[in-house]
Structure 1
Amino acid sequence: MNPDDLKILVHGASGRMGRAVLRLAGERPGLRVVAAVSRSGEILPEAPEVPVLPVARLAEAPACDLVIDFSLPEAFDAALAACLARGAGLVSGTTGLSERQHAALDAAALQVPVLWAANFSAGVAVLHALVRQAAAALPSWDADIVESHHVHKKDAPSGTALTLGEAVVAGRGRAPHYASLRAGDIVGEHLVQFTGQGERLELVHRATNREIFARGALEAASRLARRGPGRYDFGQLLLADGRI
């Protein structure tokens, strides 16, 4: 895989995140979107020059080095199978995956580079590390995670909230409590709260623009292009060279 001439296929292209990836991909030198896959197969205004295929014709997509997937759990298996068939890497932000699908990611990582993340924000990657540190330092305090998203988000708690919960467990050995809010057009907010006697610690991340996630996914794709087969973590990939 040549990181200086990276051919990308966008899977789930008609969704909010897929459209953002298409819109921003042209800003990155050395990266070229060769095709997009959506439910309808209609040309998308974000990238009118990019050929769009319906999901049923995914196998007809041109050769690519890497698939960026922001689809739904029921469409995810086809994207992963396409990567294995082509020897292409995968960057996926599809949430709500089953245990079987996560196990399939582990198996695929033996053959191709794979990166799945519930959130492609650099700020959330740092938040994850801070949450684990706080949980380890305050093991007896109550821990709660409150996440807020737009009314169209289906999974609850969000994938990001569950990932932050894993950081709490890693720090103190016990899971937090979760609360989910769905309102208006909230892009994404996550509050991790530790409460002791007479004091409270709050760690918060607020996303106000969906483009941060698309930019993060494209950055992950560029960095994954330099890696061999394996299962990669977004935060560790960002920090591999000592900087976000």
Structure 2
Amino acid sequence: MNNTPIRLLIHGASGRMGQALLRLAAEDSSLQVVAAVVRKPPAQRVVDGIPHFAASELAGAPPFDVAIDFSLPEGFDPILALCLERGVGFVSGTTGISEIQQAALSAAAQRIPLVWATNFSLGVAVLAELVERAAAALPGWDCDIVESHHVHKKDAPSGTAITLGEAAEQGGAAPRFASLRAGDIIGEHFVQFTGLGERVELVHRATNRDIFARGALHVASQLRARAPGQYRVRDLVGRPR
């Protein structure tokens, strides 16, 4: 068993998720952040013992085991290319990537282990599995997915709702979607299966944004020992498969 800390590169370290990843990784002795990458040249080269690099300096980053990327679509290609060059794991929650970039992910999975996901909550990963199982066990039932988020969220349905819908389709259901935008809701996803005289309800509520950073760190910690392939968050939760 490898007990050496997992060396992480955080790409997009100046963003909200990047800052959460740096803070939470510092609390876990099994993780070591060896580089933080930001868009512009940093005002400080070392912050809390972690070397900081501009995106243009990415090639000069020290050796790492897994990169965690929460950046922008224009920063996605260089970090994926670096992981391929070094033969290391890649975890990304960058949204808005193109079909060409999705194809690049699939090709990269032939050489390195990687995860790209719309939501890194471990609870949502379990919910997706339950949705697929329920859909398969309840053929012919109506399937409705209702998602609620804060008023500033633009996309509807959410990426997570779409992922849950894909899980339902894998089980044979035909999901319908509804979206609510209200207040400061972090994220709620409600999946309902309705038959004659009965219904099954599955729900996940996020009450703290740290769950997404914790999930990404968990996925990264599981990815180092994996063979090349494109994994889902749910593949890396619970007992080894």
TM-score band, normalised by shorter chain: 0.7 to 0.9
Q: Secondary structure at the match of 2:237?
A: helix
Contact kept in structure 1, 2:151 and 2:182, CA below 8 Å: yes
Shift of 1:36: 1.1
Once residues 143 and 200 of structure 2 are traced to their aligned partners in structure 1, the CA distance between those partners, rounded to angstroms, is: 10
Unaligned 5+ runs, structure 1 = none
* 1:222 alignment partner in structure 2: 221
Change in Cα spacing, 1:36 to 1:86, as seen in structure 2 (3 Å) is same
Structure 2 length as normaliser, TM-score?
0.88
Structure 1 length as normaliser, TM-score?
0.87
2:93 counterpart letter in structure 1:
G
* 2:54 alignment partner in structure 1: 54
1:228 counterpart letter in structure 2:
A
Shift of 1:173: 4.9
Once residues 86 and 184 of structure 1 are traced to their aligned partners in structure 2, the CA distance between those partners, rounded to angstroms, is: 44
Once residues 181 and 43 of structure 2 are traced to their aligned partners in structure 1, the CA distance between those partners, rounded to angstroms, is: 30
Change in Cα spacing, 1:128 to 1:136, as seen in structure 2 (3 Å) is same
Shift of 1:112: 1.2
Shift of 1:164: 0.6
Contact kept in structure 2, 1:143 and 1:195, CA below 8 Å: yes
1:42-76 deviations in Å (ceiling 9; x for gaps) = 469xx643222232322232222210011223322
1:96 counterpart letter in structure 2:
G
1:176-206 deviations in Å (ceiling 9; x for gaps) = 1222333443222111122334543321100
Give the percent of matched residue pairs that are identical in Structure 1 and Structure 2.
Answer: 63
Contact kept in structure 1, 2:143 and 2:173, CA below 8 Å: no
Once residues 196 and 156 of structure 2 are traced to their aligned partners in structure 1, the CA distance between those partners, rounded to angstroms, is: 29
Contact kept in structure 2, 1:41 and 1:54, CA below 8 Å: yes
Shift of 1:221: 1.1
Once residues 40 and 149 of structure 2 are traced to their aligned partners in structure 1, the CA distance between those partners, rounded to angstroms, is: 26
Contact kept in structure 1, 2:114 and 2:228, CA below 8 Å: yes
Shift of 1:123: 1.3
Change in Cα spacing, 1:197 to 1:154, as seen in structure 2 (3 Å) is same
1:108-151 deviations in Å (ceiling 9; x for gaps) = 11111112222222211211111112212333232221222234
Q: Structure 1 residue 179 and structure 2 residue 178: aligned? A: yes
